[in-house]
Amino acid sequence: MIFDASKVMRIAAIAAATALALSACNKGSDAAQGAKDGKGQQQAAAKKEMPPPVVGVVTVHPETVALTTELPGRLESLRTADVRAQVGGIIQKRLFQEGSYVRAGQPLYQIDSSTYEANLESSRAQLASAQATLAKANADLARYKPLVAADAISKQDYDAAVTAKRSAEASVKAAQAAIKSAGINLNRARITAPISGFIGQSKVSEGTLLNAGDTTVLATIRQTNPMYVNITQSATEVMKLRQQVAEGKLSGVDGAIEVGIKFDNGEVYPHKGRLLFSDPSVNETTGQITLRASVPNDKNILMSGLYVRVLMEQVAADNAFVVPQQAVTRGTKDTVMIVNAKGEMEPREVTVAQQQGTNWIITAGLKDGDKVIVDGTSIAAMSGGKKVTPKEWTPPEKAAASAAGAAPKAASEAKKDVQTTSEAKPASAAK
């Protein structure tokens, strides 16, 4: 019995210890769960208390925007002249500097002229001989005239004297023509510039033999002020342009439409050109029409053969909106994100007309006062919330300019503070 009582007491102790352990575990589990629930509540509260993300916006207003069309073009010299020799001979001298400006009539090359000088002298000698023969024929005829009247000589002799005079006169004229021809060839031995302009590289050098009638180009002269720019545009657009001009919707200076020039680096040529004419026929293969404009080139910046972008004005768009490029998502449908009246982001489908510098011109999809989001869209989307806080967006170049202007002011104020402190030190020391 004593053994049984001891066993019962041992079992009771074990049961009590087990109960205590279970109770402690339950308390620990409850405490952990409570901590977890508390942390979740804190996170939810923190999330609830987070302010809406800030997005950069531009508030758009309708305006009248001048539309332009960019077309490929190629510059061409106003006049181009190839310098060629008209007589044969060996080139003795080159009388110009390559790349320089030459004037019409300025000597460019000198061909050996000794042969042409000799021909001129020979022609002059022939003229003298012909003139002497003519003088004798005139004297004979004057002597025969009274003799034939007195029947001292035959009529046949008199007619022969008349014929001799006429032959001598013809010989004089032929000699005079030969002198003129020899003089022309002698002058052509000095090759001159046919037009004024800039002369390029010389294709021949001293000692080169030129043959009469040779078509070798010695050099090329280009007149570069003004310059032509040839443009190709679709026939549809040209017809639309003509209709706008006829209706008075598009006017130019002195009846001509102005055009601008833009280089490959994006720089715009400072001087405007004028549209001269359009080809009356359409290219059957491409459906394009060639247009030509004249552009001033006083400083010879424009070069022949250079490819450029030609800016042609169109009818201005009314009620258009100018929006930075980064605010527009281009695709099958162009869209922007706006901040609506509830302070939430909202997508908006728009119609993009064309580019204007770093902006897009939108002709449909926006209304006056819309806040178009330019910056911060991605961060706002990551936050998971719909509400945002709009802040007027400043272009980077303007922000940089403002910062650059503020820096000297801050430095000046800091310098003033330092001077004030320095001036206050003696008073402090005296104290």
User: Residue 247 is encoded by which pair of tokens?
Assistant: 């209706």
Q: What's the CATH code of the domain at 178? A: 1.10.287.470
What CATH number is attached to the domain comprising 330? 2.40.420.20
Quick check: is 403 in a domain? no
Any domain includes 151: yes
Do 298 and 340 belong together in one domain?
Answer: no
Final residue of a structural domain among 279, 313, 347: 313
CA–CA separation, 235 and 279 (whole Å): 10
Contact 345, 375 (CB under 8 A): no
Q: DSSP 3-state helix, strand, coil percentages of the chain (rounded to 5)?
A: 40, 30, 30
d(CA 110, CA 191): 6
Residue 309, helix vs strand vs coil = strand
In this structure, the answer to whether residues 302 and 327 fall within a common structural domain is no
Compute CA distances 105 → 18, 201, 203, whole Å.
125, 18, 20
pTM over 0.75: no
- Statement to judge: residues 330 and 258 lie in one domain: no
- Owning domain of residue 351: 56-63+317-392
> What is the per-residue pLDDT for 373?
83
Instruction: Report which secondary-structure segment, H or E, holds 261.
Output: strand 258-262
CATH number of the domain residue 275 falls in: 2.40.30.170
Q: What is the pLDDT along the chain (431 residues), one digit of tens a residue?
A: 444 545 545 655 565 555 555 554 454 455 445 445 555 555 555 455 567 778 788 888 888 777 777 788 899 998 999 999 999 999 999 999 999 999 999 999 999 999 999 999 999 999 999 999 999 989 988 888 888 777 777 888 888 888 999 999 999 999 999 999 999 999 999 999 999 999 999 999 999 998 877 888 999 999 988 899 998 888 877 787 777 777 666 655 556 778 888 888 888 899 988 888 777 778 778 888 888 889 999 888 888 889 998 887 776 677 888 888 888 888 888 888 888 888 888 888 888 877 777 888 888 888 888 888 888 777 777 766 677 778 888 877 665 655 565 556 655 665 555 555 555 555 444 44
User: Are 347 and 307 members of one domain?
Assistant: no
pLDDT at 370: 84
Q: Kindly state whether residues 345 and 376 are assigned to the same domain.
A: yes
**Coil, strand or helix: which one is 147?**
helix
**Tokens 């460019």 correspond to what residue?**
108
297: DSSP letter: -
Q: Which of 230, 235, 238, 289 is nearest to 261 (CA)?
A: 230
Q: Which two tokens stand for residue 77?
A: 């010299």
> Distance of alpha carbon 406 from its chain centroid, rounded?
36
Q: Are residues 301 and 325 in the same domain?
A: no
Same domain, 299 and 237: yes
Give pLDDT, residue 71.
Answer: 83
Domain count, the chain: 3
3 state SS of 337: strand
* Gap between the Cα atoms of 382 and 377, Å rounded: 9
Which of 188, 210, 232 is the last residue in one of the domains?
188
Report the C-alpha gap between 56 and 375 in whole angstroms.
5
Q: Which of 163, 188, 213 is the last residue of a domain?
A: 188
C-alpha distance across the termini of the chain, in Å: 103
- Determine the Cα–Cα distance for residues 110 and 348; give it in Å rounded to an integer: 75
CA distance 399 to 395: 6
Q: Where are the beta strands (DSSP E) in 84-218?
A: 89-94, 101-102, 107-111, 190-192, 197-199, 209-210
pLDDT of residue 351: 86
DSSP state of 315: P
The bridge status of strand 54-59 relative to strand 389-392 is parallel
Q: Which of 418, 387, 362 is nearest to 58 (CA)?
A: 362
209 within a domain of the structure (yes/no): no
pLDDT single digits (tens) 186-210: 999 999 999 999 999 999 999 999 8
Residue 296, sorted as left (phi over 0), alpha (psi -120 to 50) or beta, turns out to be: beta
Same domain, 269 and 352: no
Quick one: 350 and 305 in the same domain?
Answer: no
| Neighbouring C-beta atoms of residue 44, cutoff 10 Å | 10
Q: What is residue 431's predicted lDDT score, i.e. its pLDDT?
A: 42
Q: What is the pLDDT of residues 374-422, one digit of tens each?
A: 887 777 777 666 777 788 888 776 656 555 655 566 556 655 555 555 5
Residue 179 sits in the same domain as residue 227: no
Location of structure tokens 């500097």: 97
406 falls within a domain: no
Could you give the CA distance from residue 395 to residue 39 in angstroms, rounded to a whole number?
43
**336 and 291 housed in the same domain:** no
CA–CA dist 10, 8 (Å, integer): 5
Asked, for residue 126, whether it belongs to a domain, the answer is yes
Residue 352 maps to a domain: yes
Is 251 within 8 Å of 259 (Cβ atoms)? no
Does some domain include residue 12?
no
- CA separation for the pair 306, 227 (Å, rounded): 11
Residue 278 shares a structural domain with residue 349: no
